[in-house]
Amino acid sequence: MGWFKRDNNSAKVNVDALFLGPKSENQGFFTNTLNFLMEEHIQWRRDFHPDDKPAVSLEEQDEQLYKDTLRRTKETLLELSGKLKTTSMPWFSPRYLGHMNSDTLMAANLAYMATILYNPNNCAFEASPATTGLEIQAGKQLCTMLGFDANKGWGHITSGGHVANYEAFWVARNLKSFPMAVKAVLPNLVKGLDDWQLLNLPVSKVLDLVDKVKAANKFDEVRALSARGVGMSKENLGVLLVPQSRHYSWAKAADILGIGTDNLINVQVKDNYRMDVNVLKATIDKFIATKTPILGVVAVVGTTEEGAVDEVHEIAKLRDEYEKQGISFYFHIDGAYGGYARAIFLDENDKFMDMHKMKHRWHEEGIIHKDIDWPPIDVYEAYKAFSEADSITVDPHKMGYVPYAAGAVVMKDRRILDLISYFAAYVFEKGNDPMLLGSYILEGSKAGATAAAVWASHEVIPLNITGYGRIIGRSITGAQRFYMSLKAEPAFEVNGKKYIVHPLTKPDFNIVDFAFNAVGNTDLAKMDDLNEKLYELSSYNSGPVYANDWITSKTSLATDAYGDAPASFVAVLGIPKEQWDKQKSVYVLRSCVLSPWLIKNTTYNEYWGTFLKIMQEKIGKIVKG
Amino acid sequence: MGWFKRDNNSAKVNVDALFLGPKSENQGFFTNTLNFLMEEHIQWRRDFHPDDKPAVSLEEQDEQLYKDTLRRTKETLLELSGKLKTTSMPWFSPRYLGHMNSDTLMAANLAYMATILYNPNNCAFEASPATTGLEIQAGKQLCTMLGFDANKGWGHITSGGHVANYEAFWVARNLKSFPMAVKAVLPNLVKGLDDWQLLNLPVSKVLDLVDKVKAANKFDEVRALSARGVGMSKENLGVLLVPQSRHYSWAKAADILGIGTDNLINVQVKDNYRMDVNVLKATIDKFIATKTPILGVVAVVGTTEEGAVDEVHEIAKLRDEYEKQGISFYFHIDGAYGGYARAIFLDENDKFMDMHKMKHRWHEEGIIHKDIDWPPIDVYEAYKAFSEADSITVDPHKMGYVPYAAGAVVMKDRRILDLISYFAAYVFEKGNDPMLLGSYILEGSKAGATAAAVWASHEVIPLNITGYGRIIGRSITGAQRFYMSLKAEPAFEVNGKKYIVHPLTKPDFNIVDFAFNAVGNTDLAKMDDLNEKLYELSSYNSGPVYANDWITSKTSLATDAYGDAPASFVAVLGIPKEQWDKQKSVYVLRSCVLSPWLIKNTTYNEYWGTFLKIMQEKIGKIVKG
C-alpha cells in the first residue's frame, strides 16, 4: 500500500529508534521531521490559489493590538508549558513504573502534529477525504492482528476503551432483541422457534436473519421493533457476565445502555486473578434454570489491576458447548490493555505461531530474553482463541504506544453494522459504505489526526513479530524481570530493622503488583500503612514528581472484587489468615511495565539497583516518621 | 489566574493575529513558538535526573537497522503528508464555505502540540496533574459564558457533541427515575406524592431529594433502584421532545440509552425552521392527557442544516407554566454549533448586554458591520434565556475554532454529578472531587492535550465581547452579507439563458442555504438537478478540491423533517406549489460561514465577485453537459 518500496512484513524495526527517548536521544530526527512537516503545511496554504490576496497585510501586522494579541498567545503558551513541566508525569523514564504509560511513538506524535493543521473530521468522508481511509485501513490492520478476517470484519477508532466497550454492548443488545422483532413482522422467517429459542440464537444466525429481512425489504420495520426502537422496556434481554475483577466501565455501560447494573453479574476470579470458568458455567446454568437469557459474556485480556489474562479459549469452548444445547450469548473480549500483545504471537505473515517455534525465534532474535519463562500455556491459548470472539476492544493509546485519546473496537462480522447505523441527510448517503464513519459508530465528530497517528504507527511498526512484537517483548521482559527480582530479593535492613518485599503473582502480562512488610509484622493494617506511605512518597502526593526518584501507582485488592484470591499473597508476607478474614482487603503497589528500555542488561541492572536503594531510603524516611 | 500581568476582561483581541491564516500570514510566529515549545519539552526530559544514562547510545544510533527504522518513519510521514495535501479540505480559505469548518486558532493548535509529548490523560488526576485543572477551568469558563453560575454548575470536555448530548440525556433519565426509587427506600421523604407527581418533580426538587437521601445515608441504595441499577425495564419515564429538524445524534441517544427511538418525538418547525412552540405545547398536552411523562425537551441553537435558533425563552416560559400545573421536564439546549456565539452578547464583565447598547458597541468597535441587521429579537431573547436550561451542549471544535475532537457539556447544577458517577479503586478516591474526571463523565481516558487547547484558547480570547465575540462577529457579518448579496442578486445570463439565485431564509446565525434556478423553469426536479450538479462541481466529487475554485456543501430539505417550511422558498424560485406537494423535498447548497475573513470590505467584495463568476462558469459547464 505504501508510497515507498518497503516490505512491511519482513523489515524489522529497531525499537530504540521509535521513541524520542528518555534523554531525548532522537531529538535531531524529531525536530527536523516536525519542521519539515510544518513547512509542508504552510506552503500548502500558500499554494492554494497563489494569487488570492493575503487576508492580513504586512501593514496590519504592524498594528499594536496585533502584536499584543500575538504576545498574549505566546504568554499563554509559555504559562501552559510551565504548568506541564511542573507537574507532568515523566512517563518516558524507566523511573516511572506506575500506570499504563510510557513514552509514545515518534511516528504517532509526528503524524498527529502533521495532521492537526489540516483538521480533518472522520465523522464524514467529505470532511476527511484523506484520513477516513486511514482509519478504515487501521481498522483492518487491527482485525488481522486480532485474528479476524479483515474483509469480513470491521474495526474503527474510538475515543477510548470505555466507548469501545459501550459500542460492543450496544451491538450485543440490539442483536439480542432482533429475532423477537422478526417474529412480529415476518413470523415465517422464524417459524417453529419459541421465544426462548429466539433469545438464544447464535450471533451468526441472527446476522443471517438480518440478511433475510433485508432481502424481504422489511429491515427498517424490523429494526424499529428491536431494542433500538422500543427501548429496553419490552423484553428481558438477560444478563451480562463479567469477571469480578471488573473494570468500572462495564457498570457504566450497563447503566448507560438501559440494561441496568442489576443485570451485570460478576463472576468470581481464581487465585491467579483470571475469571473462574467453572463458576462462569455454574452461573450460566443458574440463569438458564430461571429462563433468564445470557446477553453476553466478557473476557478480559489484561485486567487493569493485575494484567490477568482470562482464559478466552475455555470460554469459547463453553460457548460452543452451550450452543449445542440451544443456549447462546454474545462473546466480547475487553483487550483494551492487552490486545496489542497479540502481535508477538504472529509471524511475518500474520500467522499465529507454534509455541515452540515462536519461543525459539523470540530468544534467537532477542525479542524476549532467554531467561524469561513466558507465556504460560493458558495465556498462549487465550491469545490464540481471540478469533472466537464476536468483538474485541483494543486501545492504541495503551500498548499501541499512541498518544491519547485512541481506543478501538473490532467486530468479527461487519454485518452487525446495520444494527446500530444511522444516517443524517447532510452527512451521509447510503451506498457510500464504509467511508461514512459517523453513521456506524457511537460517536460523531472525531479527529482525523488520531486515525493518522494510529495508521502511521501501524505502517512503521507491523502488527506482528517484526514490529509491535518487538516492543511488547521488551515490555514483557522488563515486567517479568522485575517480578523475578522482587521474588528473589532477600530480606534487607533499614535502620536496623528487616523488611521483605514480595510480588502478588507471576504476571500473565506486564503488570507487577507487590508489597513490602516489616519482618515479624503480623498486622495487616500496619503492612498496608507502610505500603500506603511508600506510595505517597512515590507519587504526586509528596510534591512535584519531577523531583522524585521513582514513581509508581497503587491499588487495593478487596474481597468484593477478588474473593479470597489475595489471601495466599498476604500469607507469604507473614500475615496470618485471620487478619485477611477480618480486613478483607490489601493495599499493594502496582507497576505497569510498559517501558521499552528494561530489556538491556545494563539498563535493567542500573534501574533495579536504583529502585532498591530508593525504596530503602523511603522506608527509612517512613520509619523515622 | 494567569502567569503574566494581563487583564482578561478588558484586553481586546485582534482576530487577524489568532490564525495561521489563509496565506500562512503568521507562519513566523507559529514556527518560532512551536520550536520553542518543542525545545522546552526536549530539555525537560534531559533535565529529569540528568545523570541517568541514555537508553540508546550514539554507537547504537549508528547501526543500520536503527537508521532504517528512522528512514521508515520518515517515509511514512512523508506519505501521510502527501495524502493530506492531495485531498484535505482547504478550510482556511474563504473559498471554502461548506461545513462547519474554518481555520483553527494558533493558540489551540500550539497548545495541543505542546501537550502531546507529555501525553496527560484527564481520566484521572494522577495521570494529568497539569491538565485536569485546565479542563475544570475551561468548564467553569463555559459555565459563565452560557449563563450558569460557575461555582454551582459543572462543565467538562467531551469527544464531541454526540457524547455531550448522550451525557445530558443520561442525567435526565437517571434523574427522572430517582423519585420513584426514593419512594421505595425512604417513603417518608416523598409522603403524599403519587407516582405521577414523583415523575413530574422539577429538576431542582429532585436534586434536593438527592441531598436528603444522602443525609439519610441511603444514597447508594436509592441510586441502585434508579434507572442506573434497574435499567429501563421498570418504569415508563416518558418521551423526549426534539425539534423535527433533528440532528441524528438524538435518535442515537434514544437508542443507546435504552429509551428507544419510539419515545423520541419530533415537534414540527415553523417557516423559519425553529421549533413551533405552539405545537410543542399541544404535543405536551397530548402526552399528559394519556399520563405519559415528558422526560425532556430539547431546544437547538444552531440547527445543523439552517443554523436556526430555537426560541429558548419561550420554551423556558412554557416549562415554568407547566411546573405550576405539576408537570415538569428536563430542559436541554443543544448548542453544539451555536453555543459559543453567546460570547458576543456579553460585556467585558460577562454580563448579558442590553440590546441597544450592545448593537451600538458592535458598530462602534467594528465587531459587526453597521449594515448588518442582526440579531432578530427572538435570537437575542433565546441567547439571554440560556441560563434557564438544565444543561447545554457546546462544541469547542465548532464555533470555538479549536481542532477536533473537542465537545463539551455544561450543567446548571453540579449536584447532578452523583446520578452518573462511578468509582474505580485504582483511579479514584472519594473526596478528591472534582479532579477525578473519569468518574463523573460518560467517557474514561481522554487527552489532556484537548483540555490544554481549549483552555489556552479561552485564556487568549475571553468568552465575551472582547474576545470570542469578535470572531463570532466576523462570522455573522460574513454570513449576513452573503445572504444579502444572494438576495439582491438580479437574474444573470449564462450562454444566453437567464438564471436566478435565492437564499432559503434570513439566517438566525451563520448558515446560508441557497439554490439556483433557470428563469422560467417550473420543474422542481430540474431545479434540483442543477443544484446537485453545482454541488458536484463544488466538492470532492469533481476531483481534488485543491484545484477547485469554490467549495460548498449541500443538503436536502424534505417534509419528513421540515413539514411545508420550504414551500415558500421554492415558490420564490418560480416553482409552483403543486410541484412541492408532489416531490416534498428540495435540494439546496449550504454554506456555513465560519471564515473570519469576510468582514473586510475589500476581501468580501473580492470573494463575492469570485463566487459569482465561478458559479456562472460552473452553470456554463453544466448546461453544455
Q: Is residue A479 part of a domain?
A: yes
* A544 — pLDDT class (breaks 50, 70, 90): confident
Chain A / chain B CB contacts < 8 angstroms: 546
pLDDT at residue A437, as a whole number: 82
Does B126 fall in a domain?
Answer: no
First and final C-alpha spacing in chain A: 62
- pLDDT of the residue at A1: 42
Quote the number of domains for chain A.
Answer: 1
Give the mean model confidence (pLDDT) for residues A264-268: 95
Give the CATH number, domain containing residue A550. 3.90.1150
| Confidence at residue B428, expressed as pLDDT on a 0 to 100 scale | 35
User: For position A426, what pLDDT does the model report?
Assistant: 38
Rounded CA-CA distance B578/B589 in Å is 23
pLDDT at residue B624 in the model:
84
Of residues A617, A466, A45, A79, the one with CA closest to residue B111: A79
Between the alpha carbon of residue B104 and those of residues A117, A191, B337, B398, the distances in Å are: 8, 58, 15, 9
% pLDDT > 90, chain B: 87
Amino acid at B283: T
Query: Which of B26, B48, B237, B262 is most worth mutating to test chain A (most A CB atoms within 10 A of its CB)?
Result: B48
Residues in Cβ contact with B453 at an 8 Å cutoff, skipping those fewer than 6 apart: B107, B108, B109, B111, B112, B115, B396, B402, B403, B406
A563 pLDDT more than 90? no
In this prediction, residue A542 carries a pLDDT of: 84
DSSP three-state, residue A623:
helix
Distance CA A347, CA A327 (A): 36
Per-residue pLDDT tens over the stretch A332-361? 999 999 999 999 999 999 999 999 999 999
Say whether the peptide bond before residue A518 is cis (omega within 30 degrees of 0): no
Asked if the structure places residue A225 within a domain, the reply is no
Q: Using an 8 Å Cβ cutoff, are A152 and A139 in contact?
A: no
Report, in angstroms and rounded to the nearest whole number, the Rg of chain A calculated over CA atoms: 26
Is the CB of A120 less than 8 angstroms away from the CB of B44?
A: no
> Is 80 exceeded by the pLDDT of residue B456?
yes
The partner residue sitting opposite A22, judged by closest CB among B52, B112, B590, is B52
User: Shortest CB distance from A404 goes to which of B39, B121, B426?
Assistant: B121
What is the mean pLDDT of the segment spanning B518-542?
A: 95
Express each pLDDT in A471-524 by its tens digit.
Answer: 999 999 999 999 999 999 999 999 999 999 999 999 999 999 999 999 999 999
Q: Which of A299-308, A430-439, B170-179 has the lowest mean pLDDT?
A: A430-439
* Confidence check: pLDDT of B429 > 50: no
* Mean pLDDT on B274-279: 97
Q: Which residues contact A187 (CB under 8 A, 6 or more apart)?
A: none
Q: Does A6 sit within 8 Å of B73, measured CB to CB?
A: no
Has residue A557 got a pLDDT over 50? yes
Active site members of A: 426
Q: Please indicate whether residue A438 or residue B165 has the higher confidence score (pLDDT).
A: B165
Rounded Cα distance, B412 and A590, in Å: 38
Helices (H), A493-566: 524-537, 559-562
Among A31, A121, A555, whose Cβ lies nearest the Cβ of B38?
A31
pLDDT at A247: 75
Query: In which band, very low, low, confident or very high, does the pLDDT at B239 lie, cut at 50, 70 and 90?
Result: very high
Indicate left, alpha or beta for B368 from its phi (over 0: left) and psi (-120 to 50: alpha).
beta
* Residue from B252, B394, B450 to probe the interface with A (highest A Cβ count within 10 Å): B252
Q: Render pLDDT for B320-363 as a digit per residue (tens, 0 to 9).
A: 999 999 999 999 999 999 999 999 999 999 999 999 999 999 99
Q: Is the pLDDT of residue B240 over 70?
A: yes
User: What is the structure's pLDDT at A3?
Assistant: 47
- In the predicted structure, residue B219 carries a pLDDT above the cut 80: yes
Are B609 and B549 spatial neighbours (Cβ–Cβ below 8 Å)?
no
Asked if B163's CB is within 8 angstroms of A2's CB, the reply is: no
Residues A554-575, mean pLDDT to the nearest whole number: 92
pLDDT at B49 over 50: yes
Q: Take residue A322 and report the three cell numbers written for it.
A: 452451550
Mean pLDDT of A445-466: 97
Closest-CA distance of chain B to residue A324, Å: 30
Q: What is the pLDDT of residue A246?
A: 64
The answer to whether A74 and B33 are in contact (CB under 8 A) is yes
Average pLDDT score over chain A:
93
* Smallest Cα distance from A81 to chain B, Å: 7
**A238 CA: distance to closest CA in chain B (Å):** 11
Task: Quote the cell numbers at residue B545.
Answer: 478540491
Beta bridge partners of B586: B557
User: Where does the pLDDT of residue A451 fall: very low under 50, low under 70, confident under 90, or very high at 90 and above?
Assistant: very high
- HEC letters along A560-600: HHHCCCCHHHHHHCCCCHHHHHHHCEEEEEEEECCCCCCCC
B160 domain residue, yes or no? yes
Catalytic residue among B322, B426, B483, B604: B426
Give the whole-angstrom CA distance, residue B596 versus residue B475. 5
What is the C-alpha to C-alpha distance for residues A556 and B5, in angstroms, rounded to an integer? 45
Residue B431 clears pLDDT 70, i.e. is over it = no
Q: Least CB-CB distance to B446: which of A77, A251, A404?
A: A404
Q: CB-based burial of residue B40 (10 Å sphere; 0-12 exposed, 13-18 middle, 19+ buried)? A: middle
Q: Is A466 helix (H, G, I), strand (E, B) or coil?
A: coil
Inter-chain touch B80–A456, beta carbons under 8 Å: yes
Say whether pLDDT at B247 is over 80: no
Q: Quick one: pLDDT band at residue A434, thresholds 50, 70, 90? A: low
Indicate whether B303 belongs to any domain.
yes
Kindly report the nearest CA distance between residue B165 and chain A, in angstroms: 11
Mean pLDDT in residue range B590-601:
94
- Chain mean pLDDT for chain B: 93
The reported pLDDT for the residue numbered A7 is 52
**Contact (CB, 8 A) for A522 and A574:** yes
Residue ranges with strand state E in A291-356: 294-300, 330-334
Mean pLDDT of A191-201: 97
Q: pLDDT for B364-400, tens place per residue?
A: 999 999 989 999 999 999 999 999 999 999 999 999 9
What CATH number is attached to the domain comprising B423?
A: 3.40.640.10
Least confident of A208-212, A466-470, A591-595, B621-625: B621-625
Nearest to B460 among A76, A118, A606 (CB): A76
- Output the pLDDT for position A572: 96
Whether the per-residue pLDDT at A11 is higher than 70: the answer is: no
pLDDT at A431: 46
**If residue B494 lies in a helix (H) or strand (E), which one and from where to where?**
strand B492-494
Whether A403 contacts chain B with CB within 8 A: yes
Q: B74 and chain A: CB distance < 8 Å anywhere?
A: yes
Residue A41 confidence (pLDDT) above 80? yes
Residues A430 and A177: beta-carbon distance below 8 Å: no
Rounded to the nearest 10 degrees, what angle do helices A248-256 and B161-185 cross at? 80
Q: Which residues contact A281 (CB under 8 A, 6 or more apart)?
A: A318
Range B526-551 average pLDDT:
93
List CB contacts (< 8 A) between A436 and chain B.
none
DSSP A327: -
Average pLDDT over every residue of B430-435 = 50
**Has residue A18 got a pLDDT over 50?**
yes
B525 occurs within a structural domain: no
Direct distance between the N- and C-terminal alpha carbons of chain B, in angstroms, rounded to an integer: 62
| Residue A142 pLDDT greater than 90, yes or no | yes
Residues 214-233 of A with CB under 8 A from B: 224, 227-233
- The yes-or-no verdict on residue B425 having pLDDT over 50 is no
In a domain, B569, yes or no: no
Residue B240 placed within a domain: yes
Range of the domain at A515: 473-624
**What per-residue confidence (pLDDT) applies to B12?**
86
- Does A9 contact B at CB distance below 8 Å? no
Query: Which pLDDT belongs to residue B447?
Result: 97
Concerning whether B96 is annotated as a catalytic residue, the answer is: no
pLDDT at B418: 87
- The answer to whether A75 and B2 have CB atoms below 8 angstroms apart is yes
